Amino acid sequence: MKKIIILLIFFTSTYAHAQDVFSIGPMYHLNIGDKSFKSSFGLEVAYWNIDDFPYSVDFGLDFQKGKFRLYTEAQTGVGFAGVSLGPVLEFKKNSPVQLGLQTSAWANYILGVDFRCRFFKGPDYISPGLYLKYPWIVGNDNINNSGDNDFDWD
């Protein structure tokens, strides 16, 4: 438990000065719809700019037996919780590609939960899920904007 607290303090203090953060990680969802429950596994990459108003864009792949989904979402949130919305393409064996809308509400830091809804012309799906995200910082607001990497002391 002590190690987990130390890791959380480290990540919290590191992100306090971040402007740009990328994250990548695996996802698991239970897809409920069309009178069935089916699991899917995926991978998601997200970019966050938290300089003023926190905004993000993510790209994901979702694999389910007989189906493959490709999606992107615009996101916003406050630290550990947020919402997202965007288009989703679903590829099924022996069926035309479906374009739909996907929306999610999520809560996380490194380990997260989400509640995702997918709306298609056919059956709609509710997909609660779990995921892990590995974050890394690209920008830092302690670096001045003059183009050099000198520390800005004021």
Residue 15 lies in a domain: yes
Q: Are 104 and 87 in contact (CB under 8 A)?
A: no
In a domain, 119, yes or no: yes
Please check the confidence at residue 17 and state whether its pLDDT lies above 70.
Answer: no
pLDDT surpassing 90 at residue 105: yes
Of 118, 41, 61, nearest in space to 84 by CA:
118
Average of per-residue pLDDT values in the chain: 81
Residue 139's pLDDT is 62
> Count of domains in the chain?
1
Has residue 145 been placed in a domain? Answer: no
Amino acid at the residue 125: Y
Whether residue 122 is contained in a domain is answered as: yes
* 142 domain residue, yes or no: no
Q: Which domain holds residue 63?
A: 2-137
Task: Answer yes or no: is pLDDT of 102 > 60.
Answer: yes
Domain membership of residue 150 (yes or no) is no
For residue 45, tell me if it sits in a domain.
yes
Confirm whether 149 is domain-assigned. no
CATH number of the domain where residue 47 is located = 2.40.160
